[in-house]
Amino acid sequence: MAPFHSTSLAWLLLAEGETAAPGFGSMLPMFVIVGVLFYVMVLMPQRREQNQRKSMLEELKKNDHVITTGGIHGTVTNVRRDDDEVTIKVDESTNTKLRVSIGAISRVITSDAKSDQ
C-alpha cells in the first residue's frame, strides 16, 4: 500500500471545494414564479372585490334593500355621501330608522334575489 501524504490530502480537499454551490441565480426563476402566482391568486381577486364593493356603495340610492355587516335588513331612505352616512328603515309598522356608516352596508339585495327568498 502506498503511503498517503498530506499533499495528497490537500489536493483532495481542493478538488472537493471546486464544485460550485447553487447560487441565487438558479433560485431566481422560482421566486418569480411564486411572485406571479401570489399576484394572480391573491392580489387580483382582492382588487376585483374592492372595486365591486366600491361601485356598489357609489350606486347606493333611496329605496334600495340592503343588509348591513351586522345582519340588519332594511330599506335605504337617505344617502348622505358627504358624511358617509346612510339612513335605513328597518320596520315599516313603527317607521323605525337607523343611521349607519356607508361602509357598514354589506350588500344590496336586488329585486331578483328578493323574489327568490
pLDDT at 71: 94
pLDDT-derived band at 27, boundaries 50, 70, 90:
confident
Give the residue extent of every domain in the chain: 28-59, 61-116
d(CA 115, CA 117): 6
User: Mapping DSSP to helix (H, G, I), strand (E, B) and coil, where does residue 111 land?
Assistant: helix
Selected from 2.30.30, 3.30.160, 2.40.50, 2.60.40, the CATH number assigned to the domain covering 61-116 reads 2.30.30
pTM of structure: 0.63
Contact in structure between 104 and 70 (CB atoms under 8 Å): yes
Task: Read off the pLDDT of residues 79-111 as tens digits, 9 standing for 90 and up.
Answer: 999 999 999 999 989 999 999 999 999 999 976
